[in-house]
Structure 1
Amino acid sequence: MQLPPIGLGTMGIDDPDVIATALECGYRHLDTAQIYENEAVVGEGLARSTVPREDAIVATKVWADSLAPEDVRRTAEESLERLGRESVDLLYVHRPIEAYDPERTLPAFDELYDRGVIGGVGLSNFTVEELETARTVLEAPIAAHQVEYHPLFQPEGLLSHAREHSYPLVAYSPLANGRAGGIDEVVAAAERHDATPEAVCLAWLAAKEGVVTIPKASSREHLEANLEARDLELEPAEIDRIDGIDRTEELFPE
């Protein structure tokens, strides 16, 4: 699945006008989830926007307690109703925990894919081993894998797996949940480029082949600033220094 380099993470957004403004600013990838309880907000924002619906990629996720086959089918239909759509571009397994059973869960996603209810099957918060198991069960290709990814948490092996199997790695919480300004390597690069630490985080991810990202923003100023980070080019040495940060701070563990 071809995804824009920077999309919009919507967790915590409760105003449809933010969604409409994001689309007006140029966002074409909106990411929500059943557990965010704002699919209706995203749907209303899409309805308020003048951007044609077919131009916006909309992704949502089935939460861990609804991964039994009958619940996957039921909650997917409920998500579509809240989003005001007949189909969704990307539907994720949010986390492979609780009701998740690859032999039972993933065929239900395949069924939705075959029926055209979803445009692609996504996985989220999987390990490499779990991805490999999913690949042996799924008939549909993995359309995307979404995972926490920022300078303070750079998970091992996931990007190489994504590249090997030709699907995008979608980085969530790319700004380290507001901690970007406290990361020395990021701040140093920001100062050299007269940019913000947040822009550096996004540029660092955008420089990685196969990675797209979905920062959250609510104000027009921040929405526009995040998109402008696409134009910031870091030096290879700066990227290497951020790559080499020897810290592992997972902000959203299981």
Structure 2
Amino acid sequence: MQHSANSPILTQHGLHMPKLGLGTWPMLGEECTRAVEQALSLGYRHIDTAQAYNNEEAVGQALSNTDVPREQIHVTTKVWWDQLQPDAMRHSMERSLKALQTDYVDLFHIHWPTPDMDLQRTLETLASFKEQGLARHIGVANFPLALLRRAVEELGTPLSAIQVEYHVLLGQSGLLDYARQHDMVLTAYTPLARNKVSQIPQIQQIAAKHGVLPTQVALKWLLDQDNVAAIPKARSQANQLANLGALQVQLDDEDRALIADLPKDQRQVSPDFAPQWDVFDR
């Protein structure tokens, strides 16, 4: 049962990233390995993990078990915010590659910025991973627009992607406009707003109209946008198939207008180490 051909591929900066991926947080151990193997068998070709998720080994086991060739799978991982000194970053990358049982990752992100990081040295180290072939592409996650601007314009870092929380209840127009101007992908994490989308009357109304699930409406709204990828976590086969099914949903202008009118300031993920989010990004 191959659905992979249905997921459009993002090619910004030479990436080969399916728009729909599988998020793996907070799955652990055998449960995570099973979920990733199952997703690959259903046609997923984009897997997102991070050192901080403590599941890279489990993902690596799935990559080792599957009969899908490694070069056909886009793998993203990330370095945690307390490992942003050059030596610590290099060790983090080594640990990630070993755990994932691979010689390279397709995309390597800085997971969160910190106020005290040496941005220039951190980004130079990140860029060195690309130069050495350890990461095919590099990116940043959870960078507010002002910081992303510095990375790209002042420091000239060849970023292919930014990963941030993005869904029908949280606007990211500033970052998205910037990503498009600079030919970058914006990957939406928490794309279902921790499943709050299923409780939104307007989303339920659109879903009923099309005979689909609210989650499928919320996902398709993201996947319809230029330069946007989405990585919903899905453990069960039913949810993985439902998310793939979102690719077939056809939203119309009336649907998009209803979604545009929803509040866009409902952030679900803002830990105490999060940066000051740009107010105008809402």
Aligned-partner Cα distance in 1 for 2:226–2:103 = 32
- Structure 1: runs of 5+ lacking an equivalent: none
1:137 Cα offset (Å): 5.2
Aligned-partner Cα distance in 2 for 1:99–1:223 = 39
CA deviation map 1:105-138 (0-9, x unaligned): 0000111111111111111111111111111355
Partner residue, 1:116: 133
- Is 1:107 the counterpart of 2:124 in the alignment? yes
- Which one of the candidate residues 234, 239, 242 is aligned to 1:225? 242
Partner residue, 2:54: 37
1:230 Cα offset (Å): 0.4
- Which one of the candidate residues 210, 224, 236 is aligned to 2:227? 210
8 A contact 1:31–1:58 mirrored in 2: yes
8 A contact 1:159–1:169 mirrored in 2: yes
User: Between the two proteins, what is the percent identity of the paired residues?
Assistant: 37
- Is 1:10 the counterpart of 2:27 in the alignment? no
- Would you say how many aligned residue pairs link Structure 1 and Structure 2? 254
CA RMSD of aligned residues (A): 1.3
- Which one of the candidate residues 53, 59, 63 is aligned to 2:80? 63
- Is 1:165 the counterpart of 2:182 in the alignment? yes
Deviation beyond 6 Å, 4+ runs, structure 1: none
Aligned-partner Cα distance in 2 for 1:225–1:136 = 40
- Structure 2: runs of 5+ lacking an equivalent: 1-14, 275-282
1:150 to 1:252, Cα distance in 2 relative to 1, 3 A: same
Aligned-partner Cα distance in 2 for 1:238–1:187 = 11
Partner residue, 1:128: 145
Aligned-partner Cα distance in 2 for 1:157–1:143 = 17
Partner residue, 2:70: 53
CA deviation map 1:71-110 (0-9, x unaligned): 1111100110000011111100111115532111000011
8 A contact 2:151–2:157 mirrored in 1: no
1:180 Cα offset (Å): 1.1
Secondary structure (helix, strand or coil) at the match of 2:41 reads: helix
8 A contact 2:170–2:263 mirrored in 1: no
TM-score relative to the length of structure 2: 0.87
Question: What letter corresponds to residue 103 of structure 1 in structure 2?
Answer: Q
Partner residue, 1:187: 204
Partner residue, 2:214: 197
